[in-house]
Structure formats: C-alpha cells, structure tokens
Structure 1
Amino acid sequence: MSHLLMSPLRYLPLLMACLSFPAAADGTKAPAHWPSMEPARQVSNAAAAPLLATARAGKRVVAVGDHGVILLSDDGASFRQAKAVPVRTLLTTLQFVDARHGYAAGHDGVVLATQDGGETWTLLRATPGLEQPILAMHFDSLEHGIAVGLYGWAIETHDAGRTWTDLAIASRESNDRHLLHMFATARGSLFVVGEGGTIYRSTDRGKSWEGTTTGGKGSLWHGLGLSDGTLLVCGMRGHLYRSSDDGKTWHAVDAHTTQSLTGIAELADGSVAVVGMGGTVLTSKDRAKTFTRVERAGQEALTAVLADGARPLLVSMSGPLAVDRPTKP
C-alpha cells in the first residue's frame, strides 16, 4: 500500500488525505471490497459534514464533501442529504448544467451524474487504486466536460461522462503541477488554475491551451468570471488577482489578510464575496478593485461561497454556515 498525503492547509481540495491502494483493474467497475465504492450512508449529522464545493441547481443549493455526502437545500437554510449516492469517497467538485442535470467528482477518479436536481446520483466513472483524484471539472454542455487533478492530469468527455480520454493542458515546463480549479468566463474562455501560480487559458473549448501568470508563486485554489467580464483568482497566503482583459494580464489586489482564500461569489447586487481560512470573508462593492475584510467569530475553515441573493451562503469544514453569525474586523 502506498500513500499520497497532502497538508490540509497547503492544498485545500485534498483536505482528506489522498490514499492510494494497490492498482485496481482498468475501467469503471470497482471491486466489492473497496469501502469508498459502497453507497453513501444516510447519517443523522450530515449537515455537519466537511464540505468542499457548492452549486445551484435552479433555485436549489447543492453541496458535496466527505464520505460521499451530498446536501440539498431548497431555502438556503435547512439542508437534507441526497436520497441516493453510490460512493463514500471524498467529493471535491460540483456543477449543474441546468436545474436537473449536474455532475460531481472527486477522489478515486469518481464522476457522478444526476438528472433530478441532486436527489439521486449514478456512477459514471471510478478508478480506485490510482493516484488520480479529480479536483475540479467544467461542463460547457450536457455532453462535453473536462476534469483535472494531480500532476497536470486532465481528462475529457464528449458523451456526458460515459467515456473519458486523456487531455494535454499543461506545458512541458510545468506539466507536473497540480491543477486545482476550473472556471469559464462570459466570453467563453476556459481557465485552469493550480499549484505555483499556474494558470492555463483556452478560447476553443479546451482544444488548445496557453499559459499565463499572475507573477506570483503561490498556488491558486479558485477563480471566477464576473458578469462584467472581470476575472478573479485567489489562493494561498491571501493572494488575490484581478484581470480586465479576459485573463491575458493579472494585477494583485490587496486582500488585507495572509489567510489562504478558497472561494469567490458574485452576489445579486453586484458585490463580490471571497472566503478563506480562519473565517475570512472579504467583500467588494467596486467590481473587485478593493476589498474589506471581516473575520467570523468561529474562525471556521471556509471552503466555498455561493450567492444567496445579495447575501453569501458559506460552506465549511463543519458544514453550511449561517451568514449572520457575528463577525469582527
């Protein structure tokens, strides 16, 4: 048995140690003795499970995390567990193409799909035994999607996740850097960000990629394209960068913190929220040119943020969090 262990504060998407076991057979069928390939249990405290990603399925909020836990909320306040999830592995990334159709992915190379707004999920792909956790993905249609992970690894599907092929994204000089997040812009450009300030940009749906840089060395954990075309990326030690030319050049923004930043959301009133470790919440009222910082009293490890109208909905290593918890500057 070999192990790949990542520090929780160095690479947030690998918060739970990435365990590798003797290589399994090729394909999506997992041996019965793999615990992570057993269906997720219904648990009484699911709403307190560590969560790593959240997305909207129409008006519904969906969040994924450890042990195959998938939470659903139709009011942004009360959460319940999805009815059927076929795995217990750590889920790291989530996206809905429309209100009913979505994908989730994570460790063991798992890709899941739902056709009923997250109530039930089916297993499309799994490679237990290989050190290839999926850390991020992006679908630009129901059929076409790209997923990325450790050491520059990337795969692509053209048939709604039923089959996947390897995809070359990273340049030769940095092809072993971990790829940690993907996002698209209003112009249709696709970005992958990751270890050591890595940024890759594609303007042709992932057929070709070019490298760009913020000028910093810190790993990037998240990015978002705002409705006005502004781009933001954030990551380790409070690094926050802004682009106004579709990612061709980047400029540092003062985050007023050295806490690592993990998620970005644009709210209904046009303001921007950025969250991170130590209960850090940044807000901007000027299209991400400047930010103010508050620190939640509980100093939770915030892992993602989602717009809930003009308020941010926070998720963390201890589940979803109320947005009105007392804060301090």
Structure 2
Amino acid sequence: MHWQKKYGGVTLGMCLLLLQGVARADGYFDVLDQPARVSALAASSALSGVARAGARLVAVGQRGHIVYSDDGGQHWQQAAVPVSCDLTAVNFSSPSQGWAVGNDGVILHSSDGGVTWRKQLDGRQIGPLLIEHYQALARAEPANEQWPLLVAEGRRQVEQGADKPLLDVWFANDQLGYAVGVFNLILRTTDGGKHWMPFQDRTDNPQGFHLNAIAATGDALYIAGEQGLLRKWDAARQRFVAVPTPYQGSFFGVLGKPGEVIAYGLRGNLLRSTDGGRNWIAQDSGLHTSITAGLVDTDGHYRLFTQGGQMLVSEGNGAQLQWRHEPEPLPVTGAAQTADGVMLVVGTRGVSTLRKE
C-alpha cells in the first residue's frame, strides 16, 4: 500500500489557493485539501470497498473517488469528495448516514446516502489528538506508565506527518463507530464523528500491529490484523481483548452470524469458531491465494473472495466451503449484494457484476 501523498504542479488556480492558505508554502498542495477530480472512468478505476446505503450502492477507491448507484450497479455517478487521497473502506449505519476512511488518516462523513461528503478528521489532527487525550489521562493518573508512552506515540505521529492510513470503519448506529488502521491506530466516536477519541489504551495490542478490519458478526464485534491479531469487544471490561488463534499470519477480515464467526486472511487461511472465539478450527479453503473480502448474502450463505478473483461459497454454516468458477476472475477488494440479490465486487478494475447462479 502506498502511503505517500500525490502532488500536482502549480497553476493559476493553485496560486489562488496559496493566497487562501490552503496550499503548502513550497508551492505544492496536499491531497487532504484537494477535492477529488471528476472522472468519467471513476467506476472503472481501482476501488477498494463497497457498501449498501439502503437500496443504494456506494464504492470508494483511489484518488478520493466515491461512486454510487441507484439501479443495482448498472449505472454509477461520482460523489462530491473534498479530498483526493486514496480511500480504503466505507460503511453505512443507515440509508443516509455513512463514513469512509483512507490514507493520510482521513475520515469522511455523508448524511445524504453518499452523494456528498465532508471531512471529519485527517492525519494532521490525529497526532495532536493523541497528545491532548493522553496528557489529560497522565495528569489524572501520574503513576500510570502507559500514558507517557501514548503521549510519545502522538508526538511521533506529529513529527512523521499525516501519512498513516486508516484501513477500515464500522458504525453500530448513527452515533457509535470505530475507525482502525496501521500501528494500532484506533479511534472511537459516540456522536457520529463530531468528536473522535483515541482508543489505543482500550485495545490489547502492545506490539502495535496493524489493524486491518473491524466488523460485527451478529453477536460480537471483532478487529482483525497482522501476525494473527484478533481482538473482540468485551462490554464488561470496555476494551478489545485478545482472542488467541492457531494462525500467526495476517487476517484481512471477519464475518459471521449469531453463534458463528469466520476469520480469513493470507494465503487462503480460514478459521471458524462456534463458541464466541474461545476455540478455532482451521477450514480447508483449497486455495493458496489471500482471501480479501467476504459477506453473508441474503440467503444466509457465506461468500468469500480472493485477490485472484476466486469465490468460495458455504451454504448454511461456514464448515463446508465450495469453490465457484468465474469465467473471468478479477482481483477483489470488496463485495456487496444489491437489494434484488445481484452480487457485485470491486477491485483494481472497478465494479464488476457476478453472473447469477
């Protein structure tokens, strides 16, 4: 994943931006201040995530592109987006309220079903946010050795700049949500994103591993990350606690139904638990390609997709997976199902509709 920012040359318009204090003093502008360019090819360019907003579909991708469709993916329109950094994930808590995250620590919010977006937070604010939050806790608990370490982490982020990506976002409702990213970066909001609070101290991740995904399985909330990291929300302790698994490679996602959870990841690895994550059984996917996306369809079947374009389907529970052949497999980074049951995937070639079975 590329974390660097993209800059453009100086034009008359950018000189005007300089006068307004938006552009950098060295003559270049920041992608966090540059709106996404309108492109007729936005829906066929690289996309990284897709979600349902009621009957609407909304997909996000490179250069700040966000596209939406109101006819099951047949036609797409480009949304108005205030940034041009790469976006990694999107989630809607209701047909109108949605959030997208991406590179440079950006968090975007839409209140009209994904047609227009505004920025709630970016990486330039995250470092100072960490410093302020954990300095306050350090003053309240001067004997707690954890707070100075987290203050120092905030200072490192300020020194290194706003290049740390957020990799996923999930909202329980229109108010409570989380955004997760690299190096144990995790933020929580309880007011729809008006304010974001650092949550590193509430997540069992002393090594600072990347947090790749966050998802609810129907009866639990999980975070998946690198080097076998799997964390589950413990309401009694008000923190994400460690969930031991027999796999030490990267997890790219979690999905499930009440009473069952599946974690998937690198080189086709797939684990299943039916006891709330206490015990895990490795499932044979029959693949050696990384599983990068998944969902539970309207019939309650699991569908898992790989970076090579393969699709695994399990009818009923997740113990029996079968490979479904696609005539023209494409790399998949996200998947969604339309209101009338059509399956769509997104990836490096934009949006694709899968053939009906």
SS of match in other structure, 1:191: strand
Tell me the equivalent position of 1:315. Answer: 346
1:165 pairs, out of 190, 193, 197, with: 197
Q: Judge conservation of contact 1:37–1:89 (CA < 8 Å) in 2.
A: no
Task: Give 1:101 deviation, angstroms.
Answer: 0.7
SS of the counterpart of 1:62? strand
Q: What does 1:189-268 correspond to in 2, within 5 Å?
A: 189-204=220-235, 207-226=238-257, 228-268=258-298
Q: In structure 1, which of residues 138, 144, 151 is the aligned counterpart of residue 170 of structure 2?
A: 138
- Between the aligned partners of 2:356 and 2:327, the Cα distance in structure 1 is 7
> Which among 52, 56, 78 is matched to residue 56 of structure 1?
52
Distance across 2 between alignment mates of 1:316 and 1:80: 15
- The sequence identity of aligned pairs, in percent, is 30
Q: Deviations over 1:135-180 (max 9, x none)?
A: 11222222222111111121122222122221124435x4321000
Q: Tell me which amino acid in the other structure corresponds to 1:140.
A: A
**TM-score, structure 1 length as denominator?**
0.85
- For 1:160 and 1:31, locate their aligned partners in 2 and report how far apart those are by CA, in whole Å: 29
**Cα shift at 1:275:** 0.2
Aligned to 1:5: none
2:342–2:353 Cα contact (<8 Å) kept: no
Greater helix fraction, Structure 1 or Structure 2: 2
Q: Which amino acid aligns with 2:274?
A: S
Contact 1:137 1:145 in 2 (8 A): yes
User: In the alignment, is the contact (CA less than 8 A) between 2:3 and 2:164 conserved in 1?
Assistant: no
* Partner residue, 1:126: 122
**Does the 8 A contact of 2:234 with 2:241 survive in 1?**
no
Q: 1:7 maps to which residue?
A: none
Task: For residues 211-259 of structure 1, give each alpha carbon's deviation from its aligned partner in whole angstroms, at most 9, with x where no partner exists.
Answer: 0132111100011122x43211111000111111222222111111001
Q: Secondary structure at the match of 1:278?
A: coil
Q: Distance in 1 between matches of 2:66 and 2:75?
A: 10
State the SS of the aligned residue for 1:183: strand
For residues 199 and 231 of structure 2, the distance between their equivalents in structure 1, rounded to whole angstroms, comes to 13
Q: TM-score, normalised by structure 2?
A: 0.79
2:102 corresponds to 1:106:
yes
| Structure label with greater radius of gyration | 2
- Aligned residue for 1:197, secondary structure, equals coil
| Counterparts of 2:121 and 2:174, CA distance in 1 | 16
Please give the per-residue CA displacement for 1:272-321, whole angstroms capped at 9, x wherever unaligned: 11001111111111311111113534332111111235443211111111
Unaligned 5+ segments in structure 1 are 1-13, 22-28
Shift of 1:20: 6.3
How many residues align? The count is 301
Deviates more, 1:295-304 or 1:176-185: 295-304
Equivalent residue for 1:19?
Answer: 4
For 2:282 and 2:42, the matched residues in 1 are separated by: 38
Distance (Å, rounded) in 2 between the aligned partners of 1:205 and 1:54: 32
SS in 1 for 2:267: helix
Measured in 2, the distance between the counterparts of 1:207 and 1:147 equals: 16
Shift of 1:31: 4.7
- Matches of 1:102 and 1:182, distance apart in 2: 15
- 1:282 maps to 312
Is the 2:104–2:162 contact (alpha carbons within 8 Å) kept by the matching residues of 1? yes
| 2:322 equivalent to 1:292 | yes
For 1:37-48, what aligned pairs fall within 5 Å after superposition? 37-48=33-44
Cα distance in 1 for residues equivalent to 2:22 and 2:334: 30
Q: Please tell me whether the aligned partners of residues 190 and 202 of structure 1 are also in contact (alpha carbons under 8 angstroms).
A: yes
Corresponding residue for 2:89?
93
Alpha-carbon distance in 1 for matches of 2:22, 2:75: 30
